[in-house]
Structure 1
Amino acid sequence: MADPEPGFAVCVYCASSDGIAPRYLELADAVGREIAGRGWTLVSGGGRRSMMGALAAGAREAGGRTVGIIPRSMVEREWADHDSDELMVTDSMRERKQHMEDRADAFLALPGGLGTCEELFEVWSGGALGLHGKPVVLLDPDGHWDGLLDWVGGLTGRGFASRTPMERLRVVRDGADPVATALDACARPVG
């Protein structure tokens, strides 16, 4: 596979809540390190806690560039990752998501909660509707998203969705190196 253009950026969505199991923090750290190892830029939600913090710290420790995009309300709560190479502060969550989408060449979702789910759905449905042509990848090594994927798959059988959304999402579950496989999927053009 050919390497992406210099300056390739991956937006990663993941949990920012406290109390996350250590295996998820380790996954986020490994993703950050692999992004850096490829010479790519990490675009994230600009938080310093939980998986989001582990992701950015892993990327920086491996020599990568990090761009954090965070709403002012979260900066004021002291959640911002001030160690980011670039920290963009927005006025709203909507503005944050738009900047994250604009700055990324691909999207990768890791295990997460409602916020991660909402971000995934927005870029996933946008791609399925042809609003962008960027890869959308879900790294799910332990079945975190199985229920959601089953539910969305069932929408097709009930006539609420075409096969396009399911075909558009690249799901990486396991393998010898699921992190590398997921990032390879991010680098592969859509179509």
Structure 2
Amino acid sequence: MLGTLVEASLDKLKLRREILRERSRIDENSRRDRARAIRETLLDQPWVQMAGLVAAYWSIGAEPSTHGLVFALWKHGTTVILPVLRSDGDLDWAVYDGPDSLAPGPFGIMEPVDTRRGVDTIRTAALVIVPALAVDRSTGTRLGRGGGSYDRALARVGPNVPTVALLHEGELIDGVPAEPHDRPVRYAALPSGLFVTGVTELS
């Protein structure tokens, strides 16, 4: 059992390196176009339009940009909560209230300056949007950056709440290595469209 877990962990490290290398090759114009396509796809979904409270994140680096998506949801009247990284690696949550409501947090990631609402706030979200480096198309297994913060957060999300990972093309794949703590996502949003994974429930 231990050997299997070690092998999965090493496989994840290799896959992370490969994906991060590919992401670093995407030029700025392509990133902007891809982010726009993902944003439009999600905003067209009735269950996105009807979500009163959305847990999202503020993208960094070569991740598919969420800045326009978060802003559009907020302008639509949706309450958007964004993560605030705690010292123990867990995610607290605070309300986004426009671009001026953000300030740099740990590692330079922008976070809301609003009152922290607690780690359990994500339980009240009608939609959860999370970052990922890859998603397994048949199991919904999500490859993160290895910190485990989003796995903890996703463990608090109810089985009927849509969970969506944002990806670049080529990152919805077969055979993402899985460990016991990994939490699946139900959807993968790519520039080419929205895809349903094989997961049937989250908890």
Shorter chain as normaliser: what TM range? 0.3 to 0.5
Tell me the TM-score normalized by structure 2: 0.43
- Normalised by the length of structure 1, the TM-score is 0.45
